[in-house]
Amino acid sequence: MSGTPSDLRTVTIARLGARADGIADEQGGHSFVAGALPGEVVEITGSGEQARLERIVTPSPDRVAPVCPLFGRCGGCATQHLGAETYAGWKHGLVLQALARAGITNEVRPLVDGHGTGRRRVTLHGRRRDNESLAGFMRARSHDLIEVDHCPILKPELARAPAIAQALTRALAASAKPLTILITATLNGLDVDVRGNGPPSEKQRIGLTSLAHQLDLVRLSVHGDTIIARADASQSMGRAIVNIPPGGFLQPTVEGEEVLGRLAVEAVAGARRVADLFAGSGPFALRLAEAAEVHACESDAASLAALDRAARATPGLRRITIETRDLFRRPLLEMELKPFDAVILDPPRAGAEAQAGQLARSVVPRIAYVSCDIASFVRDAGTLLRGGYTLDQVTPVDQFRYSHHVELVGVFSKPVARKKR
């Protein structure tokens, strides 16, 4: 139940929660107050997760002016009001606390900034409302749409993204379906993949082809089906240039990918043969192949094909073999892991539970685990530790600035006697 003026009360915020809500300890439970900071005295209505900030009585010295006028209404950012030093400490603490709750007491390195010049891809939503076409982000804690004309956390190349989303929503208005519009800044221009419309009609394809020219898009796809490709939607990965498939996975920032790649490559330095699991289009494999042979496993065949083409076109790389494989259902087994001196894995948010189980039984000396979800990392780390590995290093990386998301690279080792093969 939401708050009413009759339950207005004054509370003190004790700490910042995992989703950047200020937490007030009250009789009978906790209230989670979006927009409030530790140490602040605030007036709120409602309680629990329905608490609402009404007024700041005593602001925190850590409070800063948000960089976006939509902060607090747009659901994309949670911490623009928090000073940089406290923000970094909070994200670092999220990793420490999650490890500690699992009984893992490793030291955690300082947070590494992976935001750089901004995110190179953005997801906008398109809707029809009252015979109007609207495009923007979701409101905070809501499924309602808030229109935007600018987002300060994006790369400058994506300044046109809201206008492009608006134009595509108008072009597909006849379907009256809610759209999800993924726009990516590539080396050659903007790449767009539209979801939600369903397969386009021939008339829609003709209209979208014309619109792609008008909007100067590199490529326009609907549900991964390319309508028009005017140039390659290329990204650099190490020395290689990769033409990413429509809607294919990509690290959110250029700098973040470089940081994660550097940490992962350093973790397995000296290895002669490396397995790259959940390899995507090759952000790690193509860097690893500068010094080692690589076997790349990934369930998405289009991404692996892009990796293979890039590897063949890049001189000076060691051999990269590819395997289309669903590692959730068919993880590399203990026996299959024997030839490898090291493993890098970069699973989605669900983690790599089945693969971690096989790795725990393996004799692979080193593992670099790149994670975008602390909870699944902690679960899989526990499996590896019970299998005889030690967690040597944990480095948090901040690609999603102003959000509660934090990525990390965990480095594991197992001092085992390798059998002759």
Q: Which of 74, 77, 297, 372 is catalytic?
A: 372
Are the C-beta atoms of residues 272 and 340 closer than 8 Å to each other?
no
Q: Are 268 and 344 in contact (CB under 8 A)?
A: yes
Q: Which strands form 29-33's sheet, in the order they lie side by side?
A: 15-16, 22-26, 29-33
What is the residue-wise DSSP string for 291-337? TSEEEEEES-HHHHHHHHHHHHHSTTPPPEEEEE--TTTSPPPHHHH
User: Burial code of 326-364, b = ≥16 C-beta within 10 A, e = fewer?
Assistant: ebbeebbeeeebeebbbbbbbbeeebbebbbbbbbebeb
Q: Residue 105, Cα to own-chain centre: how many angstroms?
A: 26
Annotation marks residue 68 as catalytic: no
Report the run of H or E that residue 171 belongs to, with start and end: helix 161-171
Please give the Cα distance from 174 to 216 (Å, whole number). Answer: 23
* Distance from C-alpha of 355 to C-alpha of 346, rounded to nearest angstrom: 11
Compute the radius of gyration of the chain from its Cα atoms. Answer: 23
Distance CA 123, CA 201 (A): 24
C-alpha closest to that of 289 among 326, 248, 237: 237
Catalytic residues: 372
